[in-house]
Amino acid sequence: MQRIGVFVCHCGSNIAATVDVKKVVEMAMCEPGVVHAEDYPYMCSEAGQAKIQAAIKEKNLGGVVVCSCSPRMHENTFRKAAEKAGLNPYMVEIANIREHCSWIHKNMEEATEKAVILMKAAVAKVNLNTPLQAGESRVTKRALVIGGGIAGIQTALDIAEAGYPVDIVEKTPSIGGRMSQLDKTFPTLDCSACILTPKMVEANAHPNINIYTYSEVEKVSGFVGDFTVDIRKKARSVDMSKCTGCGVCQEKCPNKKTPNEFNRGLNNRSAIYTPFAQAIPNVPVIDREHCTKFLTGKCGICAKVCQAGAVDYEQQDEIITEKYGAIVVATGFNMINLDKYDEYAYSQSKDVITSLELERIMNAAGPTKGHLERLSDGKAPKEMVFIQCVGSRCADKRGKSYCSKICCMYTAKHAMLIRDKYPDVNVTVFYIDVRTPGKNFDEFYRRAVEEYGVNYIKGQVGKVIPQPDGKLLVQGSDLLSNKQILKEADMVVLAAAIEPEPGVRNIATMLTASIDTNDFLTEAHAKLRPVESPTAGIFLSGVCQGPKDIPETVSQAGAAAVKAIGLLAKDKLTTNPCTAKADELMCNGCSQCANVCPYGAISYETKLINDHGVREDRRVAVVNSALCQGCGACTVTCPSGAMDLQGFSNRQILAEVDAICR
Amino acid sequence: MKYSYYPGCTLKNKAQALDMYARASASVLGFELEEVSEWQCCGGVYPLGSDEIATKLSSVRVLNEAKKKDQALVTLCSACHHVIKRVNDDMKNVPDIYQKANRYLQLEEDYRGETNVYHFLEVLRDQIGFDKLKEKVVKPLTGKKIGAYYGCLLLRPSSILAFDNPENPKILEDFIRAIGAEPVIYPYRNECCGGYISLKEKDMSKNMCEKITQSAEGFGADMLITACPLCMYNLNKTESKKIPVYYFTELLAEALGLKED
Amino acid sequence: MSINNNSEFKPKIVAFCCNWCSYAGADLAGSSRLTYPADVKIIRVPCSCRVNPMFILRAFEKGADGVILCGCHPGDCHYTSGNFYARRRMTLLFSMLDYIGVENGRTRVEWVSAAEGVKFSATMNSFVEKIYSLGKNVRLEDLRCKN
Amino acid sequence: MKSEKKQAEKIKEISGVNPLKCMKCGKCSATCPSFAEMDIKPHQFVSYVQNEEIEELTKSVSLWKCLSCFACVERCPRDVKPGKIIDAVRQLVEREKDGDYLSPNEIPELLDPEIPQQLLVSAFRRYRR
């Protein structure tokens, strides 16, 4: 039995006007364990706190109950006061007799009676409180950013600028991501490379940023502040320290039949390649799956022509192990596969393309050197049709349930650019809804219609019918005139839905970060913690969390950086001591608790357990208190009752129930 | 390998060629089609209404006959295939329908969609294999450019029929390659021929078939193949038609050297 | 005697409130001076998923006449998914309780956000009213606990 | 008015379609091979049922022009299945007295020697109760 002190606050007249505080004090003295009780006009004042501290010392109190306002208001105040007097702060409980009593009840007798019961419940609870120690864990002052697109680059730059070292891990041979594939950006139509390249260069040159390209995260262990990550640096077959980036190897490579990923497979590249001219690092890689040297052993031309002697066929994959305090996921997106949407004839006609392919066609460095032409016969198109929502907003199994968000704007952009550069080309857009929330976005879309004469038709397309003469017949609805229209087109552009980069599922699993049914990473709170994963120390940047355009991605990237910096700025992390704890004697290692834990805080260890003299190895649950947030889901799930929550234990809550129902 | 076989009404009458060549080819390819005894007409169209039970019973009887023999059920006519496969799906997955249907039929043991329903083409693809078929071809149709006409009944709804990609099917094209000819892909191969509408609205189906045959001819097809007697009838009704239409089984028999002419 | 007893019936009602939404909602009801009967006593838990069915059974055993569990709205849980667990568990528990005679009206799950002081008070008012209409609960009560 | 509400419910029940799932993209009408022959278009059927305007639907010639080719069912991005609604309205009409669209008396003049049995069977199923 604790020696308990009860302190009843008047809160001026806020409490005392409806609750007979003297009566509460009197009743408190009757409770078992209570050795001291008093009241005071303002317990939260300096003088009030001094009274508590004095009583703790004089009466050697082991527990304190303050009957006052909501614990959300002053619990911390009273805990700190108690701590100063030498009492463990978690031995303090609050009975909320203001918000939950005096303010809502008018009848003094009734309110006093309730206040007494609330006091009794708090006393019963504090009787079972145990001193808790807020834990500490160290913080490694280095961040990892997974993904080197605009999101990853921006996050890395912001963290680096704050003075912390950052590593970027990018799986392709260059940073730059999807944005580097774009020609122009909405709503200002500035060239994508012109605004992205300086950022890439800045990231590359920053003393605090270290870039691993052609690399992937392979293993993650540890927890917030103290992650250990294995990074596989795939063999580039080119020595980065020797290569001068002259490009002769790529020119001379005789094997130029590999589909060029950067140009979405619209043309071919050499087996030794840098994805694009502004690549960072400007060091080629050998694609071993397509290289003649690696396939047949004969060739070796690139090594012969390399003056720097940088080509190294013997190079091996390298595993780098590094410690990080924070990890930012910025894995980005891809376009969905259109195999299931063949009513649009994507696989049957070369002149049916996706929007990202159009970006490459419009780009001066693209497969057609920036000339708008049909890929089937190289002719300039006269009629172009854009189809919106291909695979977005689908309730069926073929597509995605969500709106891809960027398509309405980039289609308006494409339409406008084409009408501007090729005024004789007619552009028709079939749309379901035009969604343009964003600064200057709707104005942009209206300009496409009003100034550039883009023909927007409300209605979806049912089928694209290739004609024997190479034209495409587009059969669609015009809902506003209630007609089915057949439109002859030279090219059809599909606004294919975007989806998270397929590798994200694997990364999320390694990080124990949760993902939703669409494979987007889940936020800790949809509104209030949108850039944090529920898993502590993991932050989200860019489209990996949900569809976004560039401005939004950059803002979110900055926000993720700030959250990571906030973590890295701390030397130690104090952990919430109200965490779950498994009773090793009762645990049967069934894993049910780990299944419900949203934070991946529960793992299993085989331990030598001394069960009343029987010593045996058992698989038991172990809670990582640095990760546990104290929700208690596991405590209820545990079939053997081994799991309990410190600070809100089963016995404590039952004691409160008993006191209330007494 | 023995399969229960459901020919359906038309194959016993106007479309005997479809049936005859299929049986002959089957024996060469090493499987037997055992006609279900006392089968009844499937009705030609699948009754869509959720409260339609009686119209589905003839299909259930056939399915149950195959179940009793522990055989898969093979169909040939697109319409029969469509109806029986969908009814089978109902008997497997729609409680209201399987409960009521079983209550009507009073079978010894309730039928719950146990029978596998295959189209003859599916047997060729999944059981025999087009590679195997190719080996058995003695008179390849080399140089023939053939357009496959699927129509609607074989492909849709794909969630239930699970026959092929409904927008870009390839089973008939693979078949055409296996018998040594060259497939011609044209966009109208999965568009409807008009179906039963040709009884009363002859112009409608004519227009549709016109588009189909013209598109196929435009892409260079010498002939069309189909699995459906009604498609065959409708395609043959177009006025400008020059392109001949065959049942796929006829060309199969020809390639296997079973056709005398 | 019985009529007299009934008029003096003061139900015991336990309300479990999650720390992040409903407890704060109750605080807001208080600071907005929105009244509800004093029969309701609130127990603070970190999350609705902390509430073990055992707590509710114990409350009835000790003479509670009604138990209400309040948590964050679905999708708003501070711990992302705790209230979904709570919802499932309570669905099962309540149907079991109903089966053994503790009427469904004596148990309830409500989602109350930190901004819904009005809803908190309205919920408590309607719940207490329901308990009054159902009268004293005797089904699970452990008579040995009576003093 | 009230009976139209009832009819709408019946149509939803027979067809198993929930018109509220429709996002009004018009892909059904874009894909329909009989569009030109229809007075009320496939996408409108969904809206009419949603608005419980069944009277007009029952008089629509579209009922007899739909091929049940399932192109709209297959391609609908929201899984609404407009073709099933048209079929349900057709059944509603045929289940009424004198609702049949085909009488045996008109058959002889529609026949020709090549007609497959399948055509007659299907047409009877479609056009008559």
Closest C-alpha to A125, from A86, A94, A158: A94
In a domain, B125, yes or no: no
Residues of chain A with CATH 3.30.70.3270: 576-646
Among A527, A645, A660, whose Cβ lies nearest the Cβ of C14? A660
Residue C57 sits in which domain range? 2-134
Nearest CA in chain C to A628: C79
In a domain, C144, yes or no: no
3-state SS of B184-232 is ECCHHHHCCCCHHHHHCCHHHHHHHHHHHHHHHHHCCCCEEEECCHHHH
Contacts of D42 in chain B (CB under 8 A): none
The Cα A276–Cα A282 span in angstroms is 9
| pLDDT > 80? residue C147 | no
The Cα A631–Cα A623 span in angstroms is 13
In a domain, B260, yes or no: no
| pLDDT > 80? residue B260 | no
Contacts of C89 in chain A (CB under 8 A): 636
Q: Is B14 in CB contact (< 8 Å) with chain D?
A: yes
Contacts of B195 in chain D (CB under 8 A): 67-69, 122
Tokens matching residue A8: 């009843």
Task: Tell me the CATH class for A4-132.
Answer: alpha beta
Distance from CA of B257 to the nearest CA of A (A): 34
Q: What is the pLDDT of residue C145?
A: 63
8 Å CB contact of D77 and A460: yes
Which residues of C lie closer than 8 Å to A, measured between beta carbons?
A: 12, 14, 23-24, 26-27, 29-31, 33-36, 38, 41-47, 49-55, 58-59, 62-64, 75-76, 78-82, 85, 89, 121, 147
Among A98, A100, A632, whose Cβ lies nearest the Cβ of C49? A632
In a domain, C60, yes or no: yes
Do B33 and B81 belong together in one domain?
Answer: yes
Please spell the DSSP secondary structure of A408-432, one letter per residue.
HHHHHHHHHHHHHH-TTSEEEEEES
C43, β-bridge pairs: C16
Give partners of C (≥3 CB pairs < 8 A).
A
Q: What is the pLDDT of residue A474?
A: 98
Q: Most B CBs within 10 Å: which of D118, D119, D128, as the mutation test of the B interface?
A: D118
| CATH code, domain with C56 | 3.40.50
Give partners of A (≥3 CB pairs < 8 A).
B, C, D
Distance from CA of A457 to the nearest CA of D (A): 11
Residues of chain A with CATH 3.50.50.60: 143-176+185-234+318-332+502-567, 334-499
Do B94 and B178 belong together in one domain?
Answer: no
* Better pLDDT: A599 or B151: B151
In a domain, B261, yes or no: no
Contacts of A118 in chain C (CB under 8 A): 41
On average, the pLDDT of chain B sits at: 94
Question: What SS3 state is found at A41?
Answer: coil
The Cα B93–Cα A89 span in angstroms is 60
Q: Is B161 in CB contact (< 8 Å) with chain D?
A: no
- Local confidence band at B261 (pLDDT 50, 70, 90 cut-offs): low
8 Å CB contact of A484 and D29: yes
Among D15, D73, D119, whose Cβ lies nearest the Cβ of B156? D73
Contacts of A527 in chain C (CB under 8 A): 76
The Cα D86–Cα D45 span in angstroms is 7
In a domain, C142, yes or no: no
| pLDDT > 70? residue C146 | no
Do B138 and B219 belong together in one domain?
Answer: yes
Do B12 and B73 belong together in one domain?
Answer: yes
Q: Which domains does chain D have, with CATH numbers?
A: 2-96 (1.10.1060.10), 101-129 (no CATH)
Closest C-alpha to B148, from B69, B90, B227: B227
Distance from CA of C94 to the nearest CA of A (A): 16
Contacts of A593 in chain C (CB under 8 A): none
- Provide the ipTM: 0.80
Contacts of D73 in chain A (CB under 8 A): none
In a domain, B73, yes or no: yes
Do B183 and B105 belong together in one domain?
Answer: no
Residue matched to tokens 């409904």: B166
User: What is the biggest distance separating any 2 CA atoms in chain C, rounded to whole angstroms?
Assistant: 51
Helix axis angle for A108-128 and A650-661, nearest 10°, is 150
Pairing of strands A614-623, A135-138: unpaired
pTM score: 0.82
Mean pLDDT computed over B226-233: 95
Do B219 and B242 belong together in one domain?
Answer: yes
Over its length of 129 residues, how does chain D's per-residue pLDDT go in tens digits?
458 899 999 999 999 999 999 999 999 999 999 999 999 999 999 999 999 999 999 999 999 999 999 999 999 999 999 999 999 999 999 988 888 899 889 999 999 989 999 999 999 888 987
Residue matched to tokens 């993209």: D25
In a domain, B35, yes or no: yes
Last residue of a domain, one of B67, B92, B120: B120
Instruction: State yes or no: chains C and D have 3 or more CB pairs below 8 A.
Output: no
Distance from CA of D123 to the nearest CA of B (A): 5
Distance from CA of A487 to the nearest CA of D (A): 12
Q: Is B158 in CB contact (< 8 Å) with chain D?
A: yes
In a domain, C72, yes or no: yes
| Low pLDDT (below 50) residues in chain A | none
User: What is the biggest distance separating any 2 CA atoms in chain B, rounded to whole angstroms?
Assistant: 55
Tokens matching residue A304: 């012969």
CATH topology (fold) of A143-176+185-234+318-332+502-567:
FAD/NAD(P)-binding domain (3.50.50)
Tally the domains of chain C: 1
| pLDDT > 60? residue C7 | no
Contacts of A475 in chain D (CB under 8 A): 30-31
Q: What DSSP state is assigned to residue A589?
A: -
Last residue of a domain, one of B120, B145, B173: B120
Among A394, A432, A484, whose Cβ lies nearest the Cβ of D35? A484
The Cα B199–Cα D110 span in angstroms is 6
Type of residue at A367: P
Distance from CA of D1 to the nearest CA of B (A): 24
Do residues A255 and A291 lie in contact, with contact meaning Cβ atoms separated by under 8 Å? yes
The Cα A563–Cα A533 span in angstroms is 11
User: What is the biggest distance separating any 2 CA atoms in chain D, rounded to whole angstroms?
Assistant: 49
Tally the domains of chain B: 2
| pLDDT > 60? residue C3 | no
Distance from CA of B48 to the nearest CA of D (A): 7
In a domain, B42, yes or no: yes
The Cα A473–Cα A150 span in angstroms is 38
Q: Which residues contact C28 (CB under 8 A, 6 or more apart)?
A: C114, C115, C116, C117, C120
Last residue of a domain, one of B120, B146, B168: B120
Q: What DSSP state is assigned to residue C71?
A: E
Which residues of B lie closer than 8 Å to A, measured between beta carbons?
A: 159, 165, 167-168, 185, 187-188, 191, 215, 218-220
Do B248 and B140 belong together in one domain?
Answer: yes
Q: Is A96 in CB contact (< 8 Å) with chain C?
A: yes
Q: Computed over its alpha carbons, how large is the radius of gyration of chain A?
A: 33
Q: Which residues contact A328 (CB under 8 A, 6 or more apart)?
A: A143, A144, A145, A146, A152, A155, A159, A538, A539, A540, A541, A560, A561, A564
8 Å CB contact of C59 and A657: yes
Contacts of A399 in chain D (CB under 8 A): 77
Q: What is the pLDDT of residue C4?
A: 40
The number of helix segments (H) and strand segments (E) in chain B equals 11, 8
Residue B229 sits in which domain range? 130-255
- Between chain A and chain D, the number of residue pairs with CB atoms below 8 A apart is 67
Distance from CA of C2 to the nearest CA of A (A): 22
Nearest CA in chain B to D123: B196
- How far does CA B128 lie from the centroid of its chain? 17
In a domain, C141, yes or no: no
Q: What is the pLDDT of residue A54?
A: 96
Q: What is the pLDDT of residue A510?
A: 86
- Local confidence band at C5 (pLDDT 50, 70, 90 cut-offs): very low
Among D16, D69, D115, whose Cβ lies nearest the Cβ of B195? D69
Contacts of A652 in chain C (CB under 8 A): none
Q: What is the pLDDT of residue A62?
A: 95
CATH 3.50.50.60 fits A334-499, yes or no: yes
Write out the E strands in chain B: 2-6, 32-35, 73-75, 117-119, 145-148, 182-184, 223-226, 245-247
Among B167, B185, B188, whose Cβ lies nearest the Cβ of A343? B167
Q: What is the pLDDT of residues A492-546, one digit of tens each?
A: 999 999 999 999 989 988 887 878 889 999 888 888 889 998 788 999 999 999 9
8 Å CB contact of D119 and B232: no
CATH topology (fold) of A576-646:
Alpha-Beta Plaits (3.30.70)
